Amino acid sequence: MSKIAAIQMASGPNVTANLESAKRLIDQAAENGAELVVLPENFAIMGLTESDKVALCEEDGLGPIQDFLARQSQRHGIWLVGGTIPIKSPDPKKAYAASLLYNDQGERVARYDKIHLFDVHLMDSDESYNESETTYNGKDIVVVETPFGKLGMAVCYDLRFPELFRSMLDQGVEIISLPSAFTALTGHAHWESLIRARAIENLTYVVAAGQGGYHVNGRETHGHSMIVDPWGHILNQLKSGTGVVIAEIDRDRLNSIRRSFPAIEHRRLSCQSNAG
């Protein structure tokens, strides 16, 4: 078995302060034996405006936020999912929302760019979000081999698109990392249900690391970071405030569930259309 951790933050516009908070929480996770740690979406910056992240975006493979992630993973000897950070895109007015995976040597081994962008108007709270105005969407599904199992990488709004996770399943996914910043409204309505559904239908572990609290820009995020097992059980969660959620994952248990309840093998519908 292996210990994994989801970190919950309430990030603001000051990158230095956010990195200090992330460092403290990574230290806490590592001290408690976590071998894989997942940071939340936008852990390094939640700006006063969405364009703030574009102004601070880094070149791929070069920049202080990426250096921070490499140092933390190497220093603690952990695998680290760097939530999301802004990486330069072909459009100077937009940045990729990149989730970066570092191994225990401090080497970057994978990058996932958020595919589904949050462009919605929430009538109940009169909130509007237009993520595509400042974020360049990714296209590639990422599943990578780790010592803990095959890790599929997703981000926040991706959670609502089950076909993404079915595509991961076709690549053998066993654990899903989900850095997020769900709104308080949508989180209360759907967060837990969607996470447990993705775990149950794909018989995978889900490590959901969220922003949780009130932010300087006036936004409120849902929190409730959690780790869910392949049977849909919540192994541990943090409802509010900053902190660390730790749980043990058991690859043998995952394989046992998949053998005794072979729903994956019973799939009959293809994701591809046969229309000519």
How does pLDDT run across 208-255, given as a tens digit for each residue? 999 999 999 988 999 999 999 999 999 999 999 999 999 999 999 999
Query: Which residue among 35, 41, 131, 174 is the active-site one?
Result: 41
267 secondary structure, DSSP code:
-
Predicted local distance difference test score (pLDDT) of residue 273: 44
Residue keyed to tokens 């958020």: 114
Query: Which residue among 114, 131, 150, 174 is the active-site one?
Result: 114
Coil, strand or helix: which one is 243? Answer: strand
Maximum pairwise Cα distance, the chain: 57
Query: Which residue among 3, 57, 156, 174 is the active-site one?
Result: 156
114 as an active site residue: the answer is yes
Q: Calculate what percentage of the chain has a pLDDT beyond 90.
A: 89
pTM, two decimals, is 0.94
Give the CATH H-level superfamily of domain 2-265. Answer: Carbon-nitrogen hydrolase (3.60.110.10)
Which residues lie below 8 Å from residue 241, measured CB to CB, with a gap of 6+?
Answer: 8, 10, 212, 213, 223
Distance CA 38, CA 165 (A): 18
Give percent helix, percent strand, percent coil of the chain, each to the nearest 5: 30, 30, 35
Adjacent-strand bridge partners of 207: 177, 227
Which residues lie below 8 Å from residue 182, measured CB to CB, with a gap of 6+?
Answer: 156, 191, 210, 211, 221, 222
Res. 84: pLDDT tops 70: yes
156 as an active site residue: the answer is yes
271 as an active site residue: the answer is no
